[in-house]
Amino acid sequence: MLMDRKKIERWWRWAAIILAGIFLLSFVLLGVGSSSAGNVLQGCNGSSESVNQDSYFVERENYYNGRLADDPNDVEAMIGLARLYAYQTQDRRMEGVALLDRAIAADPANVTARLEKANIYLQLLNDPGEATRLLAEAAAIAPDNAEVFLQLGIAAEQAGQNAQAIDAWNRYLQLDPDSNLADTIRGKIAVLETQPPVAVEAPVATPEEAAPEAPAPAQP
């Protein structure tokens, strides 16, 4: 009877070892352990990246604000800070626009500030009409700037101004006929030329404008 008990205990120990081995093997094969470790590491990496991004933002903001404290008319610092606010945050984009307005006021012939402001309206604020207006101003200031006409064509097309887009892109091809985008732009021009012009809606008349004029009083 004692022998049987020892045999039973020995068999239970072997069974426990075997079961533990099977569990460990399934744990590894199913990737449970690796995914758990990965999640922990990913969480640490994500936290580290967030800290790095925040520190970068603060560092650049302090840098540009320091330059503006030394020289309130530092246009390059205004543009740099505007980019930071526009593309690194969502709730401070209009601060970026205001900074670009300051840059334009300080240097009315500055094309870069208008390009940056147009890009914000086109890409972030979904207002291709305002972007087109700003780029048309830049084109008048810099009629030999190929990038201005490339961007003007893009904005005008998105605003539905096909004729303006075609004119802008044709000017772009004149200025930079061998660019990597030249064939693409020629193809887009060919497509736009087959489309009918966009009808411009007539302004809606106010009740006062729509009412017929009262007849002039008869002369006695």
Domain count, the chain: 2
Q: What is the spatial distance between Cα 131 and Cα 118, in angstroms, rounded to a whole number?
A: 4
Task: Identify the CATH number of the domain in which residue 165 sits.
Answer: 1.25.40.10
Place of tokens 């933002």: 57
- Nearest residue to 97 (alpha-carbon basis) of 73, 118, 77, 123: 118
Q: What is the pLDDT of residues 12-71, one digit of tens each?
A: 555 455 555 544 444 334 443 444 444 444 555 555 555 677 889 999 999 999 999 999
Question: In residues, how long is the chain?
Answer: 220
Q: Is the domain of 136 the same as that of 187?
A: yes
Q: Is the domain of 139 the same as that of 191?
A: yes
Q: What is the pLDDT of residues 93-104, one digit of tens each?
A: 999 999 999 999
pTM summary value: 0.67
pLDDT above 70: percentage of residues in the chain: 66
Q: Is the domain of 84 the same as that of 144?
A: no
Q: Which domain holds residue 104?
A: 53-108
Q: Identify the band that residue 139 occupies on the pLDDT scale cut at 50, 70 and 90.
A: very high
Give yes or no for residue 203 having a pLDDT over 50: no
Give yes or no for residue 187 having a pLDDT over 50: yes
- For the four alpha carbons of 85, 87, 92 and 93, in that order, the dihedral sign comes to positive
pLDDT at 36: 41
Q: What is the spatial distance between Cα 60 and Cα 11, in angstroms, rounded to a whole number?
A: 69
Q: Is the domain of 104 the same as that of 142?
A: no
Q: Which range has the worst mean pLDDT, 4-13, 44-53, 167-176, 198-207?
A: 198-207
pLDDT at 215: 52
Q: What is the spatial distance between Cα 124 and Cα 12, in angstroms, rounded to a whole number?
A: 68
Q: Is the domain of 133 the same as that of 104?
A: no
pLDDT at 90: 87
Q: Is the domain of 133 the same as that of 179?
A: yes
Q: Indicate whether 204 belongs to any domain.
A: no
Place of tokens 């892109």: 169
Q: Indicate whether 13 belongs to any domain.
A: no
Q: Is the domain of 178 the same as that of 133?
A: yes
Task: Identify the CATH number of the domain in which residue 60 sits.
Answer: 1.25.40
pLDDT at 206: 44
Own/partner long-range contacts of 201-206 (Cβ < 8 Å, ≥24 apart): none
Q: Is the domain of 165 the same as that of 193?
A: yes
Give yes or no for residue 210 having a pLDDT over 70: no
Give yes or no for residue 9 having a pLDDT over 60: no
Q: What are the DSSP E strand ranges found in 11-58?
A: none
Give every CB contact of residue 158 below 8 A, 6+ residues apart in sequence. 122, 128, 131
Q: Indicate whether 99 belongs to any domain.
A: yes
More confident residue, 135 or 217: 135
Structure tokens at 215: 């007849």
Distances (CA, A) of 82 to 78, 112, 177: 6, 12, 32
Q: Indicate whether 133 belongs to any domain.
A: yes
Q: What is the spatial distance between Cα 65 and Cα 197, in angstroms, rounded to a whole number?
A: 47
Q: Which range has the worst mean pLDDT, 4-8, 121-125, 140-144, 151-155?
A: 4-8
More confident residue, 1 or 152: 152
156 and 165 Cβ atoms separated by less than 8 Å = yes
pLDDT at 17: 52
Q: Indicate whether 138 belongs to any domain.
A: yes
